Amino acid sequence: MTEITLQEKFERSAGVICRQGMVQFPVSPTAVAIIQRAVGDVEDELDLIHAFREQPSQTLEQLAASSGFPAEKAGALADSLAQKGLVFNQPNSKGVMVYRLLPLMMVGLMEYKFMGELTGSDEEKELARLFEKMLADLREQTQGNYEALMPLFKAAPAIDRTVPGGSTTDGQAIRVIPVDKPIEGGEEFVLPSQTVEEIIAKFDDIAVGYCFCRQRRNLLGEPCRTQAPVQNCFTFGKSARHTVAQGFARPVTRDEALKILKEAEEAGLVHKAFHPGARESALETSICNCCKDCCDTFRLWRDGTLPLVNSTYHLSVIDADACTGCGTCVDWCPTDAIALDDDGLAVRDEASCLGCGVCARFCPEEAISLKEGLRKVFVLPPRLRSGQVA
């Protein structure tokens, strides 16, 4: 058998990892450089990554067979890769340990690498720059193949689900207009939890880490303009046990979690819940608390990289008689769904409204309510003119 070089092992490992997840990447020099920094010169770990090429989720027995390593060594290597953010290692419902190779992002290496407490080292900054270059390359790919990619984008499931905040700045409950027609989806459709309190109540295992978006932007020299709190990235259940075990997050009680979520709401952050495989019938795995300028979901859409695809059960409704045209809602809206019309009053674009309730929270006249109704928000990334792609 012909021996392959270390560089070739980096390249083939990058090839396997780049095929994982919702967003697949070409095996570029940037992707290879990311794997080099994430794994290091540990050839056995690179060989184990290659063992996932046919099957991204494997039991220890399967992984030993596909890698050629003894079971004990295969498990140790997988556990080491888990600490580096490349493997999810938790038992399934039958108690059997399963090792799953993670993607570069959504949710994978990029999120876990920047979810723990950082030091601001040169190594962290270089990794942040490499991920930024990778996303810039993805933007070029999207813009260069815009028409061909649009059908694929339109068929994509909702990446996350907006859970609205519940109160205004003076502590009053945001007014909710009840749904006026039955929910489509058949008798078996169960509406997922619509408050963070309901979500938190479901779980015994809750963990909180740092916002990987705000931390990465800070490493890039772009601190959050809203000065939003940073330690409010939540994981639940199996995901919480994993992030705690790898040192990416710390366990918290329900009461502490609710206190942190309240602080996030007061800062105008958007609660976004995630479900395994984008299946809203399944229990939530995590909640992000997103600001307008740092959140990857918002930035990748505004920058022309990926569409905005979100599930929501609410839509903001503006009372024109109560609106004074102050523009507060325009400033706070994370998707630019609100503007002032020719009369100087706020108007909302339904197509891009997430129903997050941030506009209602900060409206000084309490002129905004939330109307119930299950919706999928889909907004195409802007088509950039030639020369605009960085």
Tell me the per-residue pLDDT of 112-134, one tens digit each, with 9 for 90 and over: 999 999 999 999 999 999 999 99
Tell me: the pLDDT tens digits for 23-75?
889 999 999 999 999 999 999 999 999 999 999 999 999 999 999 999 999 99
pLDDT at 388: 47
The residues spanned by each domain of the chain are: 6-144, 146-379
Q: What fold, for 6-144?
A: Arc Repressor Mutant, subunit A (1.10.10)
Q: What is the mean pLDDT of residues 237-254?
A: 98
The answer, yes or no, to whether residue 78 has pLDDT greater than 50, is yes
pLDDT tens profile 208-218:
999 999 999 99
pLDDT of residue 188: 54
Question: Has residue 389 got a pLDDT over 50?
Answer: no
Answer for the pair 46, 14: CB distance below 8 angstroms, yes or no: no
Give per-residue pLDDT as tens, 316-373.
999 999 999 999 999 999 999 999 999 999 999 999 999 999 999 999 999 999 999 9
When pLDDT is cut at 50, 70 and 90, the band that residue 278 belongs to is confident
Quick: pLDDT tens for 279-316.
888 999 999 999 999 999 999 999 999 999 999 999 99
pTM of the complete model = 0.92
Q: What is the pLDDT of residue 113?
A: 97
Average pLDDT of the chain to the nearest whole number: 94
Averaged pLDDT, 157-176: 94
Q: Give 3 or 371, the one with higher predicted confidence.
A: 371
Q: Give residue 179's pLDDT.
A: 80
